[in-house]
């Protein structure tokens, strides 16, 4: 059984930092592209960042470029998202997703389907 478990969310003031983690089990982690999506109430789901299996291909949404950094530790089956200079508009539920196809990050985390695995999400709230 595949499980993705996110952690690290919370309440932070604008300008602060958080580090999200996503630990995977039940899959061969180092063969999956891994991404982060977020969704705020009343807004469309947004692909935030993505990293392919070997860390070569990356994607960042324009809204987070220069502030967020994605990384992975394949030995620990864990994906990270370091979020710095947080803004109130970053407030959302953040989800990690695992995709088995090598071009997933090129889709800007938009091609989501039955082959993907999702976590339950972790809430990030940034106060002004």
First-to-last alpha carbon distance for the chain, in angstroms, is 40
What would the pLDDT profile of 15-53 be if each residue is shown by its tens digit? 999 999 999 999 999 999 999 999 999 999 999 999 999
101 within 8 A of 33, measured Cβ to Cβ: yes
pLDDT in tens, 109-127: 889 999 999 999 999 999 9
- Predicted local distance difference test score (pLDDT) of residue 70: 97
CA atoms within 13 Å, Cβ hemisphere of 106? 4
């Amino acid at each position: 059984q595949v499980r993705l478990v996110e952690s690290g969310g919370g309440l932070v003031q604008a300008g602060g930092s958080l580090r999200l983690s996503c630990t995977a089990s039940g899959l061969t982690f180092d063969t999956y592209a891994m991404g982060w999506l977020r969704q705020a109430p009343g807004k469309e789901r947004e692909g935030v960042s993505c990293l392919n299996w070997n860390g070569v291909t990356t994607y960042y949404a324009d809204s987070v470029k220069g502030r967020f950094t994605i990384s992975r530790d394949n030995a620990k089956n864990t994906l990270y998202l370091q979020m710095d200079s947080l803004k109130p508009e970053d407030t959302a539920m953040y989800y990690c997703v695992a995709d088995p196809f090598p071009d997933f990050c090129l889709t800007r985390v938009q091609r989501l389907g039955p082959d993907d695995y999702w976590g339950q999400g972790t809430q990030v709230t940034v106060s002004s």
